Structure 1
Amino acid sequence: MKPEPDLAARVSTLEQRLRDPAPSRPNARVMGGTVGWLLLLLLTANLWVLWGAVREQGRGRLEHEFWIVSQPGATADERRDAFAALVRAGNKEWRSARLKHLKLRGAELGGANLESVDLEGCDLTDANLESAVLRRANLELAKLLRANLSRADLSESFLRKVDLTSADLSRANLRSASLEQSDMVDANFERADMTEANLLLGVLTRADLRRVNLSWANLDAADLTGANLEEANLEGASMQDTFFGDSNWWRAKGLPAAAIERFKKEFPPGSEAPAEFQEDFLAWLDSQ
């Protein structure tokens, strides 16, 4: 048997090992962390490149959609679908788009930016345009029956001969808008701003005009039969040949004294007026 080394030999061997340590192995945890970071950076770079490609593809797709709505060769259905895609993408430039006479019944256009859009003759029956921006838009001859235009911006828009029967335009901005010869039967304009709007020959039968600002508006030859004018502002409005039969015109604000005296004789609410209007008129007369 090989003799076991004595104590002195073992101590000498230990000292030698301490003087000449074995090469250290790499720390596995450090190496793993480094590899993880490298993989994360590589993944991020790949995702960034992929996102750029998708974005470019989307931009190209939207350019194609706009080409469809801007050239005469596309069918009405193709233009309608392209228009809907552009609205969903938040498109704001419509000046060269050909959108006339599209069938957009029930379209969801709430909050859409349609400034200066040309929607002449379009059928927007039952469409949702709540809070939409239609500033300086052309809606001549459009159908907006029962459409929701509450809080929409229609300032300086052109709405000549538009059908707004039973439409909701409450709190809408219609400053300087043209509604000449438009049909607004049973429409709701409560609290709308119609300052300097043109309502020449407009039909506002039974329209809700409560708290509407109609200051300096053109109401010449307009028909307001049965309209609710409670607290409507008519200061400075032009009212030549305007018909106020069966409406509660005496509850409006800003009427000149001469107009009030004339309306007492010409437009007392008749038997066709709402019962509350008839009763309120008599109470108002007694208070004069």
Structure 2
Amino acid sequence: MEENKYDLSKIREETDIVTLLSKLGYQPLKRSAGELFYLSMLRDTDTMPSFCVNEKLGIWYDHGLAKGGNVIDFALSYWPALSFRESIGKLLEVYGNPDSLPLKTRSAQIEIPLKHPSYLIREIRELGGNPAISNYLAQRGISAAAEGFIKEVYYSIKKENGDRKELFAAGWQNDLGGWEVRNSLFKGCLGKKSMSFISADPHKLAVFEGMMDFLSWRIEYPGNSASALILNSVSFLKPAIKKASEYSNVDIFFDHDPSGRKSTEEFLTSVHYSKDCSEIYEGYNDYNEKIQHNLGRNTSSASSRFAPPLNSSRR
């Protein structure tokens, strides 16, 4: 007798990942820019919500694992000890969707789910042509430093019905050629996830968790000549430490949350001459949060918002 087959396309289309997480006992701790953030249920070390779900696109991303995908990818990650078929069966059992039960007489070949949404990069443009992207960067307070580092990325994602949804975002390329993309509704990566290295001074290195923090630093210290390393995910901490060991002067600018503090401690232990510079944005979770706060306070002119005084004794 032919083994049961699942209609994977129907499962992906009709299974809401937020509802599935609720049925599994997980609730979001915050909502930001159209995304829901959870403590990761794929790791037992998460102390700050780093598992995010984009409801509109129906995809998830775990920033600690640098891994994401659709609801089927989640089932495979959540029940790793089960086979593919057993994971899908468990998903249907928990979700309780009668319309997605096994199709016993279906003869079509089972579609293998993609590890990431099917995307096509249409075009990469310089900044300035898309008001929505420009406004997003302005809201983050880093417009004055973005040119040369941020591009306009135009791409599409294949929907379940075969049509393509056209999207755009601010983006920058990582060291493996993937594009880290951000807009007011979504944060993700097109292609392989990796760090982003910006070469400059061969002896000095500044290390950041994210590009927005790097650009915030550029806002306050536009004349600093240090090379820069953006992790794009704290999961790249160890290779970042290895890269940093090649430099004689290393400054680190990590978040003030538990994950950032733990990463700072590990960095200081491994690269004993490195310096924790997070006191610059003391009282804020990260560097960009400080810049955004200053942006809200200083409304007299763009120059007063984007060019705080330099600390001449810093270097």
TM-score by structure 1 length? 0.24
TM-score by structure 2 length? 0.22
Which structure is larger by alpha-carbon Rg, 1 or 2? 1
**Structure with higher RCO (Cα < 8 A, 6+ apart):** 2
